[in-house]
Structure 1
Amino acid sequence: MGSLEETETALSEDISFLLARASALSVAAANAALAPHGLRARSYSVLTIVVEGLNPSQKDLAEFLRLDPSQVVAIVDELEGRGLVERTPDPADRRAKIITPTPDGTELQADAASAVSEAERSTHGLLSPKERRQVAELLRRLAFPGDRSA
């Protein structure tokens, strides 16, 4: 028998399994590319959203990234400890804090984004640019089912 990767199984047609496996491969490549920057895929995701100027709260980040709020608190704590983000009062809700980038956070995110883009090109290199756009569109439709613009 050859390796499992070369064997057709019922999972070869299981969309959820294929999505999970493709995600695991992508995340592993992203984490390897982000390691020199002291980031991992989750912390990079938080930093990227914050740098985009969306002024998210920790609750917003947890909901968007589908993470437990305690995970987001730990990620923000780590980023804040490194001087990459700050918690500032939310003018709309004095009990909440919004997460904003520091200049160092903005600079690191830009450097890390280049590394992630290269890892993505390598990981998804079997797909043509058109196929990558198609996959991204299909995944957006699955990830954001209520978004009619997708």
Structure 2
Amino acid sequence: MAETPLRTVPDLTGMLIHAGHVLETQLTAALAEIGLTPRMQCVLVYALEEERTQIQLAELAYLDKTTMVGTVDALEKAGLAERKPSETDRRARIIAVTPAGAKAAADGQEVVDRVHGEALAALAASQRGPFADALAELVGGPLATPVEAQPVRRPRRRT
């Protein structure tokens, strides 16, 4: 049997994927208690910042078109947002947050802050700031933009 290769640096991919998954499940459970999903919360917050189209919101929230449509449908059904013509471009439709949606976004932000605060509380107080700063530096720098990558395909077999 071949020998396992020796790691020379920590497995950042594995650790970040695992931590992200666990944090997302915790956040999903906490937001569900107030009737939101992380996607709904994200869309509400970005839509409150400024007038944005569904496509713009999808890009900011890292949602594909189908998921975005379902998320906005759920927000509309709950009375938290509505699709409206843009005030600056009548051809475009924006996602407008209702007063109930603004309240839900504020409540949701409290939940998000609590969940993130609980995660950071696992670190010593002196480590929290430097950890968040280092992560922000990675996300804003070398990990800011995904590279375009094609899945490796097997060559077709000739028959």
Q: Normalising by the residue count of structure 1, what TM-score does the alignment of the two structures yield?
A: 0.79
Where 2:85 maps in the other structure, the secondary structure is: strand
Q: Say which one has the larger Rg.
A: 2
2:76, 2:82 within 8 Å by CA — same for their partners in 1?
yes
> Does the 8 A contact of 1:29 with 1:120 survive in 2?
no
Structure 2 vs 1, CA of residues 40 and 142 (structure 1 numbering), >3 Å: closer, same or farther? farther
Structure 2's unaligned 5+ residue stretches are: 1-5, 146-159
* 2:83–2:96 Cα contact (<8 Å) kept: yes
Aligned residue identity for 1:139: V
- Which is helix-richer, 1 or 2? 1
1:105-144, aligned counterparts within 5 Å? 105-127=101-123, 128-130=127-129, 131-142=131-142, 144=144
Task: Indicate the percent of aligned positions where both proteins have the same amino acid.
Answer: 33
* RMSD, matched Cα: 2.3
CA distance, structure 2, for counterparts of residue 143 and residue 80 of structure 1: 34
Contact 2:47/2:57 (CA < 8 Å) preserved in 1? no
Q: Does 1:14 align with 2:4?
A: no
Q: What is the TM-score of this pair, normalised by structure 2?
A: 0.75
State the alpha-carbon separation in 2 of the partners of residues 84 and 142 from structure 1. 36
Structure 1 counterpart of 2:106, one-letter code: A
Partner SS state of residue 33, structure 2: helix
Report the AA paired with residue 45 of structure 2. Answer: T
- Specify the alignment match of 2:41 in structure 1: 44
Moved over 4 A (4+): none
How do 1:24-35 residues align onto structure 2 when only pairs under 5 Å count? 24-35=21-32
Distance apart, 1:137 and its partner CA: 3.1
In structure 2, do the counterparts of structure 1 residues 141 and 107 end up closer, same or farther at CA, with 3 Å as the change threshold?
same
Q: How many residues align?
A: 136
Residue 67 of structure 1 aligns to a residue whose secondary structure is coil
The gaps in structure 1 that reach 5 residues or longer are: 1-8, 146-150
- Residues 80-95 of structure 1 mapped to structure 2, 5 A cutoff: 80-95=76-91
